[in-house]
Amino acid sequence: MAVKYNTDFLGDVISKDEWKAMAPFTKEAFRMVKKGSGAGNDFLGWVSLPDDYDKEEFARIEAAAERIKGSCDIFVVLGIGGSYLGARAAIEFVKSPLYNNLKKDTPDVYFAGNNISPTALTELLSICEGKDICVNVISKSGTTTETAIAFRVFKKLLTDRYGVEGARSRIFATTDRARGTLKQYADECGFETFVVPDDVGGRFSVLTAVGLLPIAVAGIDIKELMRGASEARAAYSSENLFKNDVLKYAATRNILYRRGKSVEIMVGYEPYMLMLNEWWKQLYGESEGKENKGILPASVVFSTDLHSLGQYIQEGRRDLFETVLSVKNPGASFVIPEDDANVDGLNFLAGKELDEVNKTAMIATLFAHNDGGVPNNLIEISDRSPYSLGYLIYFFELACAVSGYLLGVNPFNQPGVESYKKNMFALLGKPGYEQEGKILRKRMK
């Protein structure tokens, strides 16, 4: 098992009887996912994806990634939300948060089209000066404002620089299979296209072309990523909570929530986990935060944030629990040097692996936070390999669906995301929003 769920640090808060009491419901929730009998059942494509993905398209993704690697210095990925976080999380987790700053034989990868910042766009264009570029635009409809604006800019840049023909071979569109303006336009222009499946929502899409193309361009073995997810699918098939860690984690979250623990803090002990935390926050926050309920997902990277949010977690309001993600094999060795001066008094650490100190800090913190009244889930992942990451992704996706059903919500919709968009279009004068515009402008006095 590449992923192990450890409940030793929950403290004494959950008895075996409580998990037993939840078992019939996790079983039922899991059946809703497997049989498609719950709300949002037209978005269950991710369940079987690790085995049933489109092999022909997968081969095209691998081939496109090879061409991209050979033809550009910078790969610009345009997408927002689920069309952004998964790929970035995977590249940082498997490669590095400093991926773009390290020497390597794969292109730099920059993510844009995920904000409306004039400075961010201006700066990225300056970074692209004198570099060869390929672009991946990711949008199911093609009309997502942030992504579409950035695509206008980069399409023009590529056409100006490489001509229509040249741009054609450098633009890749990940979009709807058949409908949508972007699909139509991409076909007209001759861009290679990849599919955002109809039955996979954005936050569950990292193992589709949405995530796979940028991940492959960064030199990560996407076959291994899928293999990990597939083995996780097989491993997490039992309907018995005591034999299926996915169900146990989902149950634990709901037990803690009902007990007033309304904030879950995802904890990493490596800077390369920061964006994985962000991916997880969208997955859980967007799936469960509705109907005035849901656990608020937050995140930290320790030991860094032990020196910022550590005080709050140790002694603040007791409505928190943590889920700690620990990578067993750090993949790097660093021995703490002896220092004759011993100014810092740390020679008792000399000769130790830095990772041993890091892991000790983790155990120390698990005890400290437990003693402070904060239950801790501990999720142990074998290493930073794409295989293990694929395994973990599937663990979190499946647990999210089960947990959402346990909470009594549709884990696959996101009705609240439209509210700001509607207001924005109205205030920007988008055709069709005239009435809303009038009302809002009145509220602004």
As annotated, the active-site residues are 286, 307, 421
269, 272, 265: which is closest to 377 by C-alpha? Answer: 265
- The secondary structure of residue 376, as a DSSP letter, is E
Should residue 115 be labelled a site residue for a copy of itself when binding is judged by CB under 8 A? Answer: yes
Should residue 102 be labelled a site residue for a copy of itself when binding is judged by CB under 8 A? Answer: yes
Give the whole-angstrom CA distance, residue 192 versus residue 335: 48
Please list the residues that pair with 266 across neighbouring strands: 299, 323
Should residue 23 be labelled a site residue for a copy of itself when binding is judged by CB under 8 A? Answer: no
Q: What is the DSSP string of 108-141?
A: EEEEESSS--HHHHHHHHHHHTTS-EEEEEE-SS
249, 246, 256: which is closest to 294 by C-alpha? Answer: 256
Closer to a copy of itself by Cβ: residue 14 or 368: 368
Shortest CB 430 distance to a copy of itself, Å: 6
Give the whole-angstrom CA distance, residue 302 versus residue 270: 7
Should residue 358 be labelled a site residue for a copy of itself when binding is judged by CB under 8 A? Answer: yes
Q: Binding segment for a copy of itself among 40-48, 216-224, 226-234, 366-374 (CB under 8 A)?
A: 366-374
Shortest CB 243 distance to a copy of itself, Å: 23
Assess contact for 296 and 289: CB atoms under 8 A: yes
x-or-dash pattern for a copy of itself, window 166-195, by CB under 8 A?
Answer: ---------------xx-xx----------
Residue from the set 164, 315, 329, 434 that interacts with a copy of itself by CB under 8 A? 315
User: Binders of a copy of itself among 147-166, rule CB under 8 A?
Assistant: 148-149, 151-153, 155-156
Shortest CB 51 distance to a copy of itself, Å: 28
Should residue 45 be labelled a site residue for a copy of itself when binding is judged by CB under 8 A? Answer: no
Shortest CB 248 distance to a copy of itself, Å: 20
Should residue 48 be labelled a site residue for a copy of itself when binding is judged by CB under 8 A? Answer: no
Closer to a copy of itself by Cβ: residue 23 or 121: 121
User: Binders of a copy of itself among 385-424, rule CB under 8 A?
Assistant: 414-417, 419-424
User: Binders of a copy of itself among 62-81, rule CB under 8 A?
Assistant: 80-81
Shortest CB 238 distance to a copy of itself, Å: 27
Q: How many CA atoms lie within 13 A of 440 on its CB side?
A: 16
Assess contact for 172 and 187: CB atoms under 8 A: no
Q: Where are the alpha helices (DSSP H) in 324-416?
A: 354-371, 386-407
Assess contact for 50 and 232: CB atoms under 8 A: yes
Shortest CB 23 distance to a copy of itself, Å: 26
Residue from the set 176, 192, 278, 397 that interacts with a copy of itself by CB under 8 A? 278
- Report the SS3 class of residue 190: coil
Size of residue set near a copy of itself by CB under 8 A: 131
Assess contact for 369 and 376: CB atoms under 8 A: yes
Output 114-123 pairs: Cβ under 8 A, ≥24 positions apart.
114/79, 114/80, 114/81, 114/84, 114/146, 114/147, 115/80, 115/146, 116/145, 116/146, 116/149, 121/150, 121/153
Should residue 114 be labelled a site residue for a copy of itself when binding is judged by CB under 8 A? Answer: yes
Shortest CB 405 distance to a copy of itself, Å: 17
- The secondary structure of residue 337, as a DSSP letter, is P
Give the whole-angstrom CA distance, residue 29 versus residue 104: 45
User: Binders of a copy of itself among 201-260, rule CB under 8 A?
Assistant: 202-203
Closer to a copy of itself by Cβ: residue 139 or 230: 139
Residue from the set 70, 260, 343, 435 that interacts with a copy of itself by CB under 8 A? 343
Should residue 355 be labelled a site residue for a copy of itself when binding is judged by CB under 8 A? Answer: yes
User: Binders of a copy of itself among 125-144, rule CB under 8 A?
Assistant: 126-127, 142-143
| CA dihedral angle for residue 98, residue 100, residue 104, residue 105, rounded to 10 degrees | 150
